[in-house]
Amino acid sequence: MPNIIETKKLDGSDILEINFGPQHPSTHGVFRMIVQTEGEKIRGLRPIFGYLHRNHEQIAENLPYAAIMPYTDRLDYVNALANNFGYALTVEKLASLEVPERAEYLRVIMAELARIVNHITVIGFMLNDLGAFFTPLLYAFRERERILDLFEEVTGSRLMNNYFRFGGVKRDLTALHLATIHQIVAKFPAFLEEFETLLSKNEILCMRCQNVGVLSPETATNAGITGPVLRASGVNYDIRKVDGYSIYHRFDFKIPLGKKGDVYDRYYVRILEIRESLKILEQALAKIPQGEILNKKTVPFIKMPRNFKPPVGEAYGRVESPKGELGFYVVSDGTPQPWRYHVRAPSLINLTVLEEMCLGQKIADAIIILGSIDIVLGETDR
Partner 1 sequence: MIFGAGVFKGMMVTLKNFLTSYYRDRDNGGIFTVQYPEEREKLAENYRNLPFLVYDGAPDQIRCVACGICERECPPKCIHIEMATDAAGKPARKPAVFDIDYSLCMNCGICEEVCPFDSIYMDHTFEITSQAGPRSLIRGKEALARSNDYFRKIRPAMAAAVDQKRKTAEDKKKAAATPPPPQEIK
Partner 2 sequence: MELLQLGAKFGIYAVMAAILVFALGVVTFRNLFHCALCLAAALIGTAGIYIALQAEFLAGVQILLYVGGVITLVVFAIMLTEHLAGKTVRQNNAQSLPAIVGLAGFVTALIALILKTPWPVTEAALKAKTSAMGLGEALMGTYVFPFEVISIVLLAALIGTVVIAKKDAPEERP
Partner 3 sequence: MENIGSFIDMIFVTAKAWILALLGQFLPVWIVVLASIVISGVAILCLGPVIMMYLTLLERKVIGRIQNRYGPNRVGIWGLLQPIADGIKMFTKEDIVPANADKLIHLLAPIMTVVPALMIFVVVPFGRQMTAADLNIGFLYFIAVSSITILPIFMASWSSRNKYSLLGGMRTAAQLISYEVPMTLAAVPAIMMSQSLSTNTIVLTQAGSFGLNWFIFTPWGIVGFIVFFLCATAECNRPPFDLPEAESELVAGFHTEYSGMKFALFYMAEYMNAFTLCGIAATLFLGGWQGPFLPSWVWFFGKTLALICIMIWFRGTFPRFRVDHLMAFAWKFLLPLTLVNILLTALWQFTSASAAWLFSIMILAAMLYMLVKLNRVFVPEKRNYVLAD
Taking the C-alpha atoms of residue 337 and residue 324, their distance in angstroms, rounded to an integer, is 27
Q: Which of residues 176-205 bind partner 1 (CB under 8 A)?
A: 194, 197-205
- Least distance in angstroms from the C-beta of 4 to partner 2: 7
State yes or no: residue 187 binds partner 3 (CB under 8 A).
no
Site string for partner 1, 279-318 (x = CB under 8 A): -----------------------xxxxx------------
> Measured from the CB atom, is 19 or 197 closer to partner 1?
197
Q: Decide which of partner 1, partner 2, partner 3, none touches 255; Cβ closer than 5 to 8 Å per partner kind.
A: partner 3
- Least distance in angstroms from the C-beta of 255 to partner 3: 5
State yes or no: residue 58 binds partner 1 (CB under 8 A).
no
Q: Decide which of partner 3, partner 1, partner 2, none touches 360; Cβ closer than 5 to 8 Å per partner kind.
A: partner 2
CB 225 within 8 A of CB 307: no
β-pair type (324-332, 338-344): antiparallel
What residues are paired with 15 via a beta bridge?
A: 8
Q: Which of residues 59-78 bind partner 1 (CB under 8 A)?
A: 63-64, 66-71, 73-74
> Measured from the CB atom, is 16 or 198 closer to partner 2?
16
- For residue 17, give Cα distances in angstroms to 33, 129, 252: 10, 21, 50
Taking CB under 8 A as the binding criterion, the range among 126-134, 185-193, 296-304, 337-345 that sits at the site for partner 3 is 126-134
State yes or no: residue 175 binds partner 1 (CB under 8 A).
no
What residues are paired with 338 via a beta bridge?
A: 332
Query: Three-class SS string for 106-136?
Result: HHHHHHHHHHHHHHHHHHHHHHHHCCCCCHH
Taking CB under 8 A as the binding criterion, the range among 19-27, 170-178, 242-250, 373-381 that sits at the site for partner 3 is 19-27
Instruction: Reduce the DSSP state of residue 177 to 3 states and report it.
Output: helix
CB 61 within 8 A of CB 337: yes
Taking the C-alpha atoms of residue 52 and residue 330, their distance in angstroms, rounded to an integer, is 23
> Which letter does DSSP use for residue 4 in this model?
-
Q: Which of residues 329-368 bind partner 1 (CB under 8 A)?
A: none
- For residue 342, give Cα distances in angstroms to 50, 181, 207, 331: 16, 34, 41, 9
Taking the C-alpha atoms of residue 204 and residue 14, their distance in angstroms, rounded to an integer, is 30
CB 140 within 8 A of CB 122: no
Phi, psi of 224 (to 5 degrees): 75, 25
Per CB under 8 A, residues contacting partner 1 are 63-64, 66-71, 73-74, 135, 139, 142, 145, 149, 152-157, 160, 162, 171, 194, 197-206, 302-306
Write out the residues near partner 3 by the rule CB under 8 A.
1-2, 4-5, 16-19, 24-26, 40, 127-135, 138-139, 142, 198-199, 201-208, 210-211, 234, 236, 241, 254-259, 264-265, 268-269, 272, 276, 362-365, 367
